[in-house]
């Protein structure tokens, strides 16, 4: 089964994707994480992508689709859990083509929603462990020791460069203009499952499981 997670930045897609990919034995494909790894490695794709990420804009569709194709065709899995992809109609069409080539299709699209105010607050208080990538929230899921990862206390938690207020605003505008149209795209195909993303992690996981196994 192949599942897509859709929603604005900061809605909790990444957190839920990690939990559910493990539970359903799906391969998580988080394009944001893949691109950040390319940026860190200073690969040609990373060098090209960096200016888009830092400006809060989307990386061009062809680069993203090629990157996802690489991941999907490299390994054989029971299914994929796509987090942060597709983000445009062109990417959704590219995904359909890719899956068709692999003899698969999208089973459901989980659209997570929370208010814009909450999203802005969540992104502003998000911190990441530079060693393991674990995501904390200073307000709702703080580490045991201030500023330190619970599992890697030697590492100081960092803030993503695109989680600063100006870039967050831009990312939300980009979401509304370029990604939100996917809600209609998938609703028309009967694949959309809308889930309230407000609440604690376990509560939201239960809601997602309820729409995936009606
Ligand atoms: P995320 O970690 O999902 O919030 O993604 C961080 C940034 O990576 C986004 O603001 C975009 O610049 C870029 N990005 C991630 N996924 C995509 C995608 N599917 N299409 C275009 N750009 C993307």
Length of the chain: 214
In sequence order, what are the residues at sequence separation of 6 or more whose Cβ sits closer than 8 angstroms to the Cβ of residue 75? 27
pLDDT band at 75 (very low <50, low <70, confident <90, very high): confident
Torsion angles phi and psi, residue 113, rounded to 5: -130, 140
The answer to whether 111 touches 211, Cβ cutoff 8 Å, is no
Cα(37) to centroid(ligand 1), Å: 12
Locate the DSSP E strands across the chain: 2-6, 27-30, 80-83, 106-113, 126-128, 135-137, 192-196
Q: Is 168 close to ligand 1, i.e. is its CB under 6 Å away?
A: no
Ligand 1 closest atom vs CA 174: 10
Summarize pLDDT for 79-90 with one digit per residue, the tens: 999 999 999 999
Q: What is the pLDDT of residue 158?
A: 96
pTM over 0.75: yes
Mean pLDDT of 63-77: 88
Q: Is 64 close to ligand 1, i.e. is its CB under 6 Å away?
A: yes
């Amino acid at each position: 089964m192949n599942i897509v997670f859709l929603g604005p930045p900061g809605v909790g897609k990444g957190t839920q994707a990690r939990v559910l990919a493990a539970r359903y034995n799906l391969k998580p494909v988080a394009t944001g994480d893949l691109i950040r790894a390319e940026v860190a490695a200073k690969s040609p794709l990373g060098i090209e992508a960096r200016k888009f990420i830092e400006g809060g804009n989307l990386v061009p569709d062809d680069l993203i689709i090629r990157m996802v194709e690489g991941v999907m065709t490299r390994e054989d899995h029971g299914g994929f859990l796509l987090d942060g992809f597709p983000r445009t109609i062109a990417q959704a069409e590219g995904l359909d083509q890719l899956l068709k080539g692999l003899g698969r299709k999208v089973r459901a699209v989980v659209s997570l929603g929370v208010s814009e105010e909450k999203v802005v607050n969540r992104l502003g208080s998000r911190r990441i462990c530079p060693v393991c990538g674990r995501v904390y929230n200073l307000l709702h899921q703080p580490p045991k020791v201030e500023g330190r990862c619970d599992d890697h206390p030697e590492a100081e938690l960092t803030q993503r460069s695109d989680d600063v207020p100006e870039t967050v605003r831009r990312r939300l505008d980009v979401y509304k203009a370029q990604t939100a149209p996917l809600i209609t795209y998938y609703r028309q195909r009967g694949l959309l499952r809308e889930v309230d993303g407000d609440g604690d992690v376990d509560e939201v996981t239960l809601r997602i499981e309820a729409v995936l196994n009606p």
